[in-house]
Amino acid sequence: MVMVIVILLYFFVIIFDFLPILKDRDKKQVFVYGLFLTASFCVLILFSFGIRCPGPSDQITAVVEKIFFSSK
Amino acid sequence: MLSSRQAICIIVMFMFGSSVIMGVNTGVAQDSWICVLLAPFMALPMVLIYARIIKLFPEKDFFEIVEIVLGRIAGKIIVLLMSWYGLHLCALVLRNFAEFIGTSYMLETPQLVTLITMILVVVYMLYSGAVTLGKWCLVMLPILVFVVIITAILPAGKMDFTNLMPVLSHSAKRIAESTYQTFTFPYAETVLFLSLAGAVKKTVSPYKIYVYAIFIGTAILLLVVLRNILLMGPAVLGVEAFPSYVAVRIISIGDFIARVEGSIAMNLILAGIVKISVCLYAATKGTARLFGIANYRKILFPMSLSAVALSIIIYKSVMDMFAFVHIYTFYVIPFQIIIPLLIWIAAEIKVRREKPLKTAVPLTEE
């Protein structure tokens, strides 16, 4: 069910938002749009299959602990 | 252009965003109201710096200012960092929202559905622009304040004032730590409002906006914290994930006023939309600036979907979400303190250097 929702959402976003941007022929805009759209789609589609990508919280925690709590 | 009242309402609702659900600073139990009273004084110098940045470069947003004062390369690095902070905070608030809805109301609904529904509203709001956000806040803030006041008055008979005792039972160090925690969440998060600075009228005083917003926000937060302590007591307050929701559940007058906790969810949605909107606006504006895209609306959808994706992977569980609060207070130091300080100092130098030059030009022409 979640997978269908994700696919439908991206389908409508591509049809109604991405295609008009393609018509602008602005390469930079298309690149940024495509980059974020693809990255988010990969994460969400994997999530719908029950695969959770690693998040940034562990890395942030490690860096903060190294800087602020390393002497303890 | 945003009027001063609209800007104040945006900041107040932004501050109220997830605080209404997560509670403010439950670490020092019955002393948390003291931290809420002290935090604005800690935040005041910082928000005055934010206001000064707006004052030095009126009608310019934060990302434009950064590139003006730091140059292209250093400016892009700062823009990248602040855009990341906007996106990250947007994901954190989205996740808070989804966890609350998922554990309190819609237990069977997939978290993703809640997230998508919320983000679509936010995208629609941002497509309409900053002024629409301001007008919306102007209308919704009185409703939000009304709900807070009503949920504080209705259970007055059930409030136990001994819950506030013993006052100052925690050490000064612990209270100072908690005050700092309140400073970082939610006071200094208002740094993201700088991304909306370009939409604020030149004639409006940014100092007035920030100072009024901080004090109105403090009054509301204090009311929320006192209500929660007086109704639940320090022991329950310490273990509850969503204290406001649990506190308001107690309200039951006769047989006809009950289940008032729905109003807390309403407050979350009203204020949450504003907080997510401001964060997403900052992230999108920053990213557009980074890549030289003139209109931020062109990349609003992929940015919003990235925020949803990030909110899904950001924590493994709700326990991780609460554990991260401690790390968050250190993680935000560069975004809330160091970068604004750096920009302020650089902006003051830039403005002072350019002033004599401007006055010198007509003299040489003569």
Q: Give tens-digit pLDDT for A36-48.
A: 999 999 999 999 9
pLDDT at B359: 54
Contact A36 B312 (CB under 8 A): no
Residue numbers of the domain that contains B293: 4-365
- Does A37 reach chain B within 8 Å, measured CB to CB? yes
Contact A21 B298 (CB under 8 A): yes
Interface test with B, best of A19, A37, A40, A43 (most B CBs within 10 A): A40
- Does B331 reach chain A within 8 Å, measured CB to CB? yes
Answer whether residue B132 shows pLDDT above 80: yes
Q: Nearest-CA distance from A29 to chain B in Å?
A: 6
Q: Give tens-digit pLDDT for B291-301.
A: 999 999 999 99
Q: What is the CATH number of the domain that holds B292?
A: 1.20.1740.10
Q: Which of B197, B187, B182 is nearest to B51 (CA)?
A: B197
- Does A11 reach chain B within 8 Å, measured CB to CB? no
For residue B358, name the pLDDT band (cuts at 50, 70, 90): low
Instruction: For residues B127-138, give the mean pLDDT.
Output: 94
- Does B344 reach chain A within 8 Å, measured CB to CB? no
Our count of domains for chain B comes to 1
Q: Nearest-CA distance from A52 to chain B in Å?
A: 6
- Does B338 reach chain A within 8 Å, measured CB to CB? no
Contact B312 A60 (CB under 8 A): no
Q: Measured at the alpha carbon of residue B86, what is the angle toward residues B50 and B61, in degrees to the nearest 5?
A: 45
Domain segments of chain A: what residues? 2-68
Contact A32 B291 (CB under 8 A): yes
- CA pair distance B351, B277, nearest whole angstrom: 31
pLDDT at B365: 42
- Does B113 reach chain A within 8 Å, measured CB to CB? yes
- Does A56 reach chain B within 8 Å, measured CB to CB? yes
Answer whether residue B20 shows pLDDT above 80: no
Candidates A24, A33, A55; nearest CB to B302: A33
Contact A52 B116 (CB under 8 A): no
Candidates B88, B312, B327; nearest CB to A47: B312
Q: Measured at the alpha carbon of residue B269, what is the angle toward residues A36 and B208, in degrees to the nearest 5?
A: 90
For residue B281, name the pLDDT band (cuts at 50, 70, 90): very high
Instruction: For residues B341-355, give the mean pLDDT.
Output: 92
Its ipTM equals 0.95
Interface test with A, best of B79, B305, B333 (most A CBs within 10 A): B305
pLDDT at B364: 44
Answer whether residue B363 shows pLDDT above 50: no
Q: Which of B281, B276, B308 is nearest to B83 (CA)?
A: B281
- Does B107 reach chain A within 8 Å, measured CB to CB? no
Minimum Cα–Cα distance from A12: chain B residue: B301
Instruction: For residues B149-162, give the mean pLDDT.
Output: 86
Of B134 and B356, which is predicted with more confidence?
Answer: B134
Candidates B299, B308, B315; nearest CB to A32: B299
Residues on chain A touching B337 (C-beta within 8 angstroms): none
Contact A61 B324 (CB under 8 A): yes
For residue A13, name the pLDDT band (cuts at 50, 70, 90): very high
- Does B291 reach chain A within 8 Å, measured CB to CB? yes
For residue B366, name the pLDDT band (cuts at 50, 70, 90): very low
Contact A36 B305 (CB under 8 A): yes
Strand pairing partners for B200? Answer: B2
Answer whether residue B235 shows pLDDT above 70: yes
Contact B313 A43 (CB under 8 A): yes
